[in-house]
Amino acid sequence: MRMRQRNACLTGLCAILVVLLALVISAAPPSVQAQGQGQAQGAAPPPPPAPFLPGQTAGQYYKNVTVLKDIPAADLIPAMQYIRSALGADCEYCHATDRSSDEKEAKKTARMMMSMVLKINADNFKGGNNVECFSCHQGSTNVATAPPVPELGMKPAVLLMAEPKPAEGLPTADQLVSKYMQAIGGNISSLTTRTAKGTVEAGQNKNPYEQTFKAPNKSYIVTHGQQGDAVQGFDGTTVWQQNPRAVQEVVGVAALNPKRLADFYRTLDLKKSYSAFRRVTKDKVGDKDVYMALAQAADGSGNERLYFDANSGLLVRVVQRTPTAFGPNPTQYDFSDYRDAGGVKVPFEVRVAGPNNIAFWHFTDIKFNAPVNDSIFAKPSSPSKAAAN
């Protein structure tokens, strides 16, 4: 029952987000997204894993999956990535080299925990995702059972609770949206393409980088890596990745983020992109005062948190979540250095981060309405060119 609900969610509308794709592509050596393994750097690359067949479940694709056997095969690794960050434990904490082996005690405990979590939610929360690994683990393999004692110089929580809160008049979500759209300016509906050039920085690597988008939802993103080009594309139907070794369709929840990114008007026309706003709260991003609006994406991909600069009205942060078999994997975009790109202001600096990844897009040139060749968006039939050495 519970698993059926999860599957409906995972294979259906819930699908879109993971900067991971952008990151996998932009980070280190171009490698098509590893379906089965998080590979050790420096080791000889294993052959690309067999592609998932349509409708294939994790139980059919993998050797030793029991609790998660009914979820789509493509969605097992996103669930593992969630568990890794929820426990702050890398894959090897639970897995031997052969990931199907149960030789590590932690893996057996984790499997038991998975059943426990499914049961807690089924018995108490109508099978929702209310209690997940992170609820108890909070980024650690240890689970705290006692409330923390304040450090020297800090006030105990009970005293902080008693302090009067300043009364604050919060703007409405409508006001935030209007102020933002005024701040970026431009005749948004006349915009149809967006081409951006710059570099992508992830870890030690800084590579030339290009993004091409076409309304309403096509994308073509190239990282010119040391070993060749890594490309991610979306033609409105299929998300794909290409590098010098392989071309591959991206399926399951891993396709969510590339689709969100390709959504041309997502951050340009907030009135269209979000169907409802739940609440507005006051918050901080760095030392900036911001307003956070919880917004429901119009494409059905779930709630997003939009953070608006309290002074300029510009969007400084968007947090999106990709559902997994357990809790969600968050992706956070931080926007800065807004500049005019032909009538409309857009951020030239973007930081894209997940629990385990950070990348920076440094743009030098962003243009709207430059002519774009439509054929680039379709999935290519052969791998990209390796770099000439």
List contacts with ligand HEC (CB under 6 A).
Answer: 36-38, 62-68, 77, 80-81, 83-84, 87, 89, 91, 93-95, 99-100, 106-107, 109-111, 113-114, 117, 131, 133, 135-137, 141, 143, 326
Beta bridge partners of 211: 196, 221
Residues in the chain: 389
State the minimum distance, in angstroms, from the CB of residue 111 to ligand HEC: 4
State the minimum distance, in angstroms, from the CB of residue 29 to ligand HEC: 18
In one letter, which amino acid is 372?
V
64 vs 226 by CB, closer to ligand HEC = 64
What's the N-to-C CA distance of the chain in angstroms?
A: 55
Dist. CA 118–CA 326, nearest whole Å: 9
17 vs 77 by CB, closer to ligand HEC = 77
State the minimum distance, in angstroms, from the CB of residue 1 to ligand HEC: 17
Confirm if 127 and 121 have CB atoms less than 8 A apart: yes
State the minimum distance, in angstroms, from the CB of residue 152 to ligand HEC: 29
In one letter, which amino acid is 31?
S
77 vs 202 by CB, closer to ligand HEC = 77
80 vs 196 by CB, closer to ligand HEC = 80
The DSSP result for 51-109, as a single string, is: PPPTT-BHHHHSSS--TTTTSBGGGHHHHHHHHHHHHT--HHHH--SSTT---SHHHHH
State the minimum distance, in angstroms, from the CB of residue 155 to ligand HEC: 28
State the minimum distance, in angstroms, from the CB of residue 109 to ligand HEC: 4
Dist. CA 123–CA 307, nearest whole Å: 35
66 vs 226 by CB, closer to ligand HEC = 66
Secondary structure class of 28 (helix, strand, coil) = coil
15 vs 87 by CB, closer to ligand HEC = 87
Dist. CA 315–CA 313, nearest whole Å: 7
State the minimum distance, in angstroms, from the CB of residue 223 to ligand HEC: 22
Dist. CA 20–CA 202, nearest whole Å: 12
Question: Angle between the 105-124 and 2-11 helix axes, to the nearest 10 degrees?
Answer: 100
81 vs 273 by CB, closer to ligand HEC = 81
141 vs 275 by CB, closer to ligand HEC = 141
Secondary structure class of 302 (helix, strand, coil) = coil
State the minimum distance, in angstroms, from the CB of residue 309 to ligand HEC: 35
Residue 264: count other Cβ atoms within 10 Å of its Cβ.
21
Q: How far is CA 280 from CA 181, 283, 304, in A?
A: 17, 10, 12
Dist. CA 56–CA 72, nearest whole Å: 6
Greatest distance between any 2 Cα atoms in the chain: 67
Dist. CA 150–CA 147, nearest whole Å: 9
State the minimum distance, in angstroms, from the CB of residue 354 to ligand HEC: 12
121 vs 212 by CB, closer to ligand HEC = 121
